[in-house]
Amino acid sequence: MKGLTAAGHTIDLIDLHAGGSNPVMTAADLAAWRQKKVLDPLAQDYQRRLIAADHIIFIFPIWWECMPAITKGFLDKVIVKGIIYDEPKPGRLIVHHLPKLKRVSLLTVMSTPGIFYKLFFGKCHV
C-alpha cells in the first residue's frame, strides 16, 4: 500500500475481516441473487466501490487448496450477474459493468510443498 500511495495511486482497501463481511448466502440472499438483486448493505457498498475502481487487486491465501470462505462469499454476494456482469448469451463471453476497470490482479500464497502439489494435484510450475 505504501508503494502504491507513493506512486500516486488512490487506494480503497476492502478488508473483509475488518469490515465484518458475512460470507453466508441466506435463503433470502439467494432469492434476491436469482432476481439480480442484493440485500446485504455491505455487499451493495462493495459493489459501488468495485464499480468506481480502475484496478482491482485480490489478495488472499489458499487454504486446503481453496480460497477462504470469506473470499468465496464475497464473490458470491458481490460479483452478481446483472449488476457487476452479464452473460449476453449462454456460453459466450461475459461483459462486465465496471466502466473504469482497466486491470485485475491476483496475489495468493499457499503453504503446500511443491512436491505434494505435483503428486496430488497434477502438473504445476513450482
Total of domains in the chain: 1
Supply the range of the domain harboring residue 41.
11-121
For residue 106, is it within any domain? yes
Q: How far apart (Å, rounded) are the C-alpha atoms in residues 118 and 10?
A: 39
Residue 41: which CATH number?
A: 3.40.50.360
For residue 35, is it within any domain? yes
Closest CA to 96 of 81, 87, 85, 105: 85
What is the 8-class DSSP label of residue 95?
E
Read off the C-alpha cell for 32.
434476491
Q: How far apart (Å, rounded) are the C-alpha atoms in residues 79 and 101?
A: 14
For residue 58, is it within any domain? yes
pLDDT, one tens digit per residue, over 3-22 is 999 999 999 999 999 999 99
List, for the chain, all residue ranges whose pLDDT scores fall below the cut of 70: 122-126
pLDDT of residue 62: 87
For residue 126, is it within any domain? no
